[in-house]
Amino acid sequence: MYERFSEDCKDKDNIEKSNQSRQCEHFKYGGCLGNLNNFESLEECQNTCEDTLNDSQVDDHRIQLDPVNNDSLTPQPTKVPSFLEFYGPSWCLTPADRGLCHANETRFYYNGIIGKCRPFKYSGCGGNENNFTSKKSCLRACQKGFIQRISKGGLIKTKRKRKKQPVKIVYEKNFW
């Protein structure tokens, strides 16, 4: 549990993912200058972090808390797991960015590590392009960019629509 206080902000209990226990836990939030690791409910924390809390196979591929400064989320080098190839917009692989203002809007960002769109609190200004007003628009823009390999033989299953190749029909003339 981390204590965070600010002189001019109202203290309140919030939830964060702890780097040590890897669980969603309560902490005292001063109410100002927060970060993305700050949730109003246990359910919101678990829904946002569920795939990273329980999946040790993608440890090297997720955003983690900086052990030196537990106040901030630090993006680790973004690696796409070897069974996925990404052909979508590069900004779909950027971490969620709350922005610089004081609003608290629910938006969606694409988490390229787990291949899902997740909610986050947007401040109303700033941020980056990985910011969508709906889960549907997030999925439409980013999730369909992944191609998943099914076997080592190169057979692939695509999650995005591919253009059909034009088919040229050739008729042979039979001369009798």
Render pLDDT for 26-50 as a digit per residue (tens, 0 to 9): 777 666 656 666 667 777 676 666 5
What integer is the mean pLDDT of 79-85?
50
**Residue 43, Cα to own-chain centre: how many angstroms?**
17
Q: Which of 7-21, 35-49, 87-101 has the lowest mean pLDDT?
A: 7-21
The reported pTM is 0.41
> Burial, 168: exposed, middle or buried (Cβ in 10 Å; 0-12, 13-18, 19+)?
exposed
| pLDDT given for residue 156 in this prediction | 44
d(CA 98, CA 92): 15
Residue 167, phi then psi, degrees to nearest 5: -110, 125
pLDDT in tens, 133-163: 999 999 988 876 654 444 444 444 444 454 4
Is the separation of the CB atoms in 73 and 65 below 8 Å?
yes
Indicate if 78-160 has the same CATH topology as 1-59: yes
Domain made up of 78-160: CATH architecture: Irregular (4.10)
What residue ranges do the domains of the chain occupy?
Answer: 1-59, 78-160
Burial of 119 (0-12, 13-18, 19+ CB in 10 A): middle
Question: Residues 6 or more apart from 115 whose CB is under 8 A from it?
Answer: 84, 143, 146
What's the Cα-to-Cα distance from 65 to each of 46, 77, 121, rounded to whole Å? 16, 13, 18
pLDDT bin (cut points 50, 70, 90) of residue 85 is low
Say which CATH class 1-59 falls into.
Answer: few secondary structures
**pLDDT attached to residue 114:** 81
Please list the residues that pair with 17 across neighbouring strands.
24
